[in-house]
Amino acid sequence: MSLQRRRDGPAPVIGYTFTGYGAPTCADAPIRAGATALVGGDPETLYALGLALRELSAGWSRLPNETRAELERALQSVQPLSDGTLGVLLEELSAYQKAIARAAAQTYALRYPTPQTVQRAYEQLRRARADADPRRLETLLLAGTLGDPAARLSTRAATLMQTLYAGQPQSDFNASVAALVGLAFLQANGIAVDLDDAQVADLTRAVAEQADLHLPDSPAAEPDPRDWDDIVDALVARYREPLVRTEHALRETQLVRLEQLPDTVRATLQPAPGPSFEWRYLTLQDLIWLNSEITKSPQPYSYDRLEEATYYQYSYRQSRDVPLQAARFLWGYLKYRPFARGNLATALIATLVFLHINGYETRLPIEQAAEWITQVALRRKHPLDAIRQIAIPALQGTQPEPLRELAHHLIEHYEPALHALGENLTAETTRNFASFSPTDR
């Protein structure tokens, strides 16, 4: 989870990202936190905290100045947010619950979709039973609605769509469902939705490609008074054909999930089937050695930041999704950047090593490698999209090389890219990645 407070506006608007789902949401900044949701934080506490923060964000401008100052101090006192301070922050907010609730009640209450709304959208589009976990949907929807209450509805709808898609809650049709739910959110809150088929198709592709979303923002005569099911059904009746057509086109250009392949094909490609699967990880010492090999000399580093970055490799619960874990590791390493020099190059080689030692091959041309890692660092490419672009399951029975021998080969192979990377990071690179979230998906 990532919590951040904005400095450039009138209120410390709270941004909230459930990094365990890879959902990047609002990045209104400095309450920065660790990846608590990824390392076993209590989900009930996380969810209760998210609800409290959304209410605080909505009512902030109507709180007395003295209360706001006290809340500012409370928010700062629990930094950096960690597994141990989540409960403390929740208690601090609880002490002001009545004041926050009164302030939030004076603001215009938006209508938010529910997990049932998302499931309805999927079932109507796909004409199949929804398979998403309702609790996960609930969490994603909460994360997608936490943002600046003064933002335009189109901006809030874009955040909601991007978060839903990043979380990949369904086995398929995630882009079209996210687009449909976002349009339903706009219509339910008084925005006229009058797109043609081509615009809906473009919107769905933009959601899938994490491009800028161009959404309607002209107010309707009044908010749509119908319930969510009726709004969704009406939108499906109008836009199902372009949504489904676009989903099919996207599937032709995207990697197919392993579980969606026929059994005979999956048995051939599955790198580590059944209970015999064991994760392999890079240690702190491996990363220190790797950075030294790349930069040609030992570099100063922050032990705490290195430890945090290394921890991002570890699987969440019983996860066996190697690309997802690699994306988390890549995101975590670029977030913490523990070394004085060579962080981008080290992130590149370490991620490739992680994939190889866990049963994947990589297809990343030398001439594209520097651009590949830079695009992730600049938030122009989502870590999971980047990993899926290059990772291919190794044939069953393929044995990886010893870790450091493999790393040596990769360093030699990508020497031109490592040289091009150097460590000439711009301020934009560092600033953009500070609020980035993976995942995931």
* 115-126+141-254 CATH fold: Four Helix Bundle (Hemerythrin (Met), subunit A) (1.20.120)
Cis peptide preceding 275, ω within 30 of 0: no
- Give the residue carrying structure tokens 């994306």: 327
| Residue closest to 37 by CA, chosen among 73, 7, 3, 88 | 3
What tokens appear for 91 in the block? 């208690």
Per-residue DSSP letters for 121-144? HHHHHHSS---S-HHHHHHHHHHH
How do beta strands 391-393 and 14-17 pair?
unpaired
The residue with tokens 């941004």 is 15
Q: What contacts 296, CB < 8 A, 6 or more positions away?
A: none
Query: Could you identify the residue written with the tokens 């995630």?
Result: 174
CA dihedral 205, 209, 214, 220 (to 10 degrees): 60
Query: For position 42, what pLDDT does the model report?
Result: 52
Helix 134-145 vs helix 115-126: crossing angle, to nearest 10: 110
Neighbouring C-beta atoms of residue 80, cutoff 10 Å: 11
For the chain, which residues make up each domain, given as ranges? 2-105, 115-126+141-254, 274-433
Q: Which CATH superfamily is domain 274-433 in?
A: Fic/DOC protein, Fido domain (1.20.120.1870)
Question: What pLDDT, on a 0 to 100 scale, did the predictor assign at position 434?
Answer: 42
Residue-wise pLDDT tens for the chain (441 aa)? Answer: 233 322 233 332 233 333 332 333 332 332 333 223 322 345 566 677 777 877 887 788 888 988 888 888 887 777 666 656 777 778 888 888 888 888 888 877 789 999 999 999 999 999 888 888 887 888 788 877 776 667 889 998 998 998 888 777 888 899 999 999 999 999 999 999 999 999 999 999 999 887 889 999 899 888 889 999 999 999 999 999 999 999 888 876 554 444 444 444 444 334 443 333 578 889 888 999 999 999 988 889 888 889 888 888 876 544 578 898 999 999 999 988 999 899 999 999 999 999 999 889 999 999 999 999 999 998 888 999 999 999 998 876 667 678 889 999 999 999 999 999 875 443 334 434 444 444 434
Among the listed residues 150, 217, 229, the one whose alpha carbon sits nearest the alpha carbon of residue 190: 217
- Indicate the helix (H) or strand (E) that contains 418: helix 415-421
Distance separating alpha carbons of residues 75 and 93, to the nearest angstrom:
9
| Burial of 108 from C-beta contacts in 10 A (0-12 / 13-18 / 19+) | exposed
Could you tell me which of 194, 193, 167 has the C-alpha nearest to residue 178?
A: 167
Specify the pLDDT at position 181: 97
| Spatial CB neighbours of 197, under 8 Å, sequence gap ≥ 6 | 239, 241, 242
Helices assigned H by DSSP within 223-342: 228-253, 263-269, 284-295, 303-311, 322-336
- Looking at residue 18, what is its pLDDT? 31
Structure tokens at 16: 């909230």
Q: What is the dihedral of CA 255, 257, 262, 266, to 10 degrees?
A: 100
Q: Give the C-alpha separation, 116 to 138, whole Å.
A: 9
Contacts of 34 (CB under 8 A, 6+ apart): 80, 81, 82, 83, 308
28, 13 contact by CB (below 8 A):
yes
Q: ∠ at Cα 363 (359, 366), nearest 5°?
A: 130
How many Å apart are CA 229 and CA 160, to the nearest integer? 18
Domains 115-126+141-254 and 274-433 share a fold: yes
> What is the model's pLDDT at position 366?
93
Provide the whole-model pTM.
Answer: 0.51
Paired strand residues for 391 = 362
What distance in Å separates the CA atoms of residue 299 and residue 197, rounded to the nearest whole number? Answer: 55
Cα(26)–Cα(143) distance, integer angstroms: 8
